[in-house]
Structure 1
Amino acid sequence: MSAELPESSIPDEAWEEFQRESEGPARLAAPKEPSARARMVTERLRREDEEAARRHGRVRGWGKRGNQVRAEPDAWRAWPSQQRQARRRRVWGVFWVLVVVGVVLVVMNPAKSLSWLVG
C-alpha cells in the first residue's frame, strides 16, 4: 500500500514568493493585538476614570475636554511632582545659560578669560 501525496495545484515559484512576502514587510506592517494583561489594565483604568467622574458628578465624554475627570494613581505609583520637574528644568536652564556665557567670553577674548582662571 503506497500512499502517494496529491500533487499541489500551486506552483513552487508562487509558493516560495508567498512565503517570502509573509515573512517580510507584510508581517511587520500587521497590527499587533494587545496582550491579555494590557486589555485588563486598560479596562481597569477605564472603570476607575468612570468612577472618578461619577464621584465628581461629571459624565466622562460630555462637555469640553478639560472637564473630563481622570482617576489619579496612588502616591507611590505617581510620577514625580510637576513642581519638582519645573524646578529641575529651571536649574538646568540657568546652568546652560552660564555655560553659553562662559563660552562666549572665552571666544571673544581668550587671553583675558584664561588669565582669570590662572589667576
Structure 2
Amino acid sequence: MQLDDARGERRLEVGRVVLDADALVVVRGTEEVCLPPKEFRLLQFLLQGPGRTYTRMQLLDEIWGWDTEGAERTVDVHVNRLRTRFAGWGELSIETIRGLGYRAVVPGE
C-alpha cells in the first residue's frame, strides 16, 4: 500500500485500485469513479487501516468532526453508498462488524 508518489500527490494504492485525494477519484484500470468528499474520506480512512475495526462514533468523529450533529445512521448510509458504487471490485470491501462498526477488507492484507 502506497500513500504518496514522488510528486507529492496524495494517493493511496490498494492493489490495482488508486485513490487520488486531490481529485477525489478512485481508479481501477480504465474505470474511474468520482466520489463526494465525505464518501471519499470515509473510504480512504478505512483503507488506511485495513482489518482494523472502527466504531460508528469513531468514523463520525474522524470524517464529520467531533461537533457534528449527525447520527450514527449517517455512517451506515455512506457505507451502503460505497458498497453499491464498488460492488464487484474485489480489491476493496467494507465489512460490518455486528454491534460495533466497520472495517475495510483488502485481499492479501
TM-score (norm 1): 0.17
Higher-Rg structure is 1
Q: Which has the higher contact order (CA 8 A, sep 6+)?
A: 2
